[in-house]
A and B are shown apart, each in its own frame.
Chain A
Amino acid sequence: MNAVLAESAETHRPSAVLNILKQLGFGAVVSVPDGWLGEMLVRIEQEPTMRLVRATHEEEALAIACGIRLGGVRTALLVQNAGVLSMGAGMVSLAQRYQFPLLMLVSYRGTLDDPVFYHVPKGRVTEPVFRGIGLAHACVDRHRPIGPQVEQAATFAEEASCPFALLLSREDIQW
């Protein structure tokens, strides 16, 4: 990719996320959507090298992702932060206990940039809960290109054999 194209793709950060997932050989994405993730999932469904599984609940999605990874396919989980709050038991007793490397791309709702009254309670507790359940995570730096940050998160998950959650802003993931 030349410099102009690279800059263009990076300007549209959701495109950069999708591109890096393809480049890294992610063959599957498991998701429970939210408002920010919806169009990204449609784009993933259109990718010939990726399989999208739409789950009914985030803890179920986590288990499906573990199963796909068990079968040897690199897998990402796309969910809202509220979904991670509701998958605690599966996170510790399945994903972490069996040491499944999973990239989790998590829409970070209820932050200062997303002060929706019903998202705020979830945003307030997200990182404390992640720390509480021992879920490795980081917030995306909006001043840096998104692609390398996704790659670093994916690499961390594999090298550490654990799930890694990258918390995303609206401009990172909403198409």
Chain B
Amino acid sequence: MVKSAMATAARPTRADYYQVLADNLPPQALVVTSLGNASYLWATLHEAPENFYFEDAMGLALPLALGLAVAQPKRPVIVVEGDGALLMHMGALVTVGAVNPANLTVLLIQNGVHAASGGQALTNAGLDLAQLARASGIASSENIAKPESLAAKMRAGTKRDGAECLVLATEPDLEVVRPPVAFDPVATKLRFQAAIGAPRYVQTLFGGGKLEGG
């Protein structure tokens, strides 16, 4: 298991939570991970075609995952987003609350810093993000302080009517994890779409001009 360089007894590491996620991943789950270690570490622990890794585009993992959940309503979609990224596009939380897809789980890493860019302080590191998520329309929102609590939550697999937001109190991990695979954005996308059997565009030269299959 990859260990955070700054792990303390105060808060669990991202790796601790990720191990729980890997051990309890629902069948057919699709996982979208934010930039930096959110993606690098997940690739280290659970490299799979059903992962969609962000390389940059900070703050856009959550809205992309929302779109994916809308397009793939029969599959669980799990997105790992950071607190700093969320603050950049807080409106996305409101849109998630409005659309409220029951197949979307938001795992929000709350480490109080912009970890992917070196650990700069957030505008406000002490927000109650679960309360914010509830106020945004995501009724099933909870602050979580221990990996065991996340494990219990995932194992329970409670049916719900809408999206879920679990805020994970986490120690910052500033040491960049080297992923086991090269990240190529187009390859990531195409591999992902093939894995889920998404309809593909057939070019007009071949008599297509529309999405087919899937």
Contacts and interface: CB of A to CB of B under 8 A. Distances in A.
Contacts of A54: 95, 98
Interface in B19-75: 32, 52, 54-57, 60-72
A130 B95 CA distance: 27
Given A25-B210, A64-B95, A97 B67 contact: no
B8 interface: no
Interface size class of B (residues with CB under 8 A): 35 or more
B70 A51 contact: yes
B99 A67 contact: no
Nearest to A95: B57
In the complex, which of the residues B57, B62, B68 has the most CB atoms of chain A within 10 Å of its own CB atom? B57
A90 B60 contact: yes
B64 A64 contact: yes
Contacts of A53: 66-67, 70, 95, 99
A93 B55 CA distance: 8
B119 interface: no
Contact of A64 (B56, B66, B193, B201): B66
Contacts of A70: 52, 64, 67-68, 71, 189, 192-193, 198
Contacts of B71: 27-28, 67-73
Given A28-B71, A72-B214, A74-B211, A67 B91 contact: no
B156 interface: no
Interface residues of A, number: 40
Interface stretch (A8-16, A35-43, A55-63, A116-124): A55-63
B187 to A, nearest CB: 10
A54 B70 CA distance: 13
Given A97-B55, A98-B186, A98-B188, A59 B60 contact: yes
A65 B52 CA distance: 15
Given A68-B70, A71-B67, A72-B198, A56 B55 contact: no
Interface string A128-169: 000000000000000000000000000100110000000000
A57 B57 contact: no
Contacts of A24: 210
Contacts of B56: 93-94, 97
A136 B70 CA distance: 27
29 contacts: A27-B71, A28-B70, A53-B67, A54-B95, A55-B92, A55-B95, A56-B91, A63-B57, A63-B60, A63-B61, A63-B63, A63-B67, A67-B32, A67-B64, A67-B67, A67-B70, A70-B52, A70-B64, A70-B71, A71-B68, A71-B70, A72-B211, A90-B60, A94-B54, A97-B55, A97-B185, A155-B209, A158-B201, A158-B209
Interface of B: 32, 52, 54-57, 60-72, 89, 91-92, 94-95, 98-99, 185-186, 188-189, 192-193, 196-201, 203-204, 209-211, 214
Interface of A: 24-25, 27-28, 30, 51, 53-57, 59-75, 89-90, 93-94, 97-101, 155, 158-159
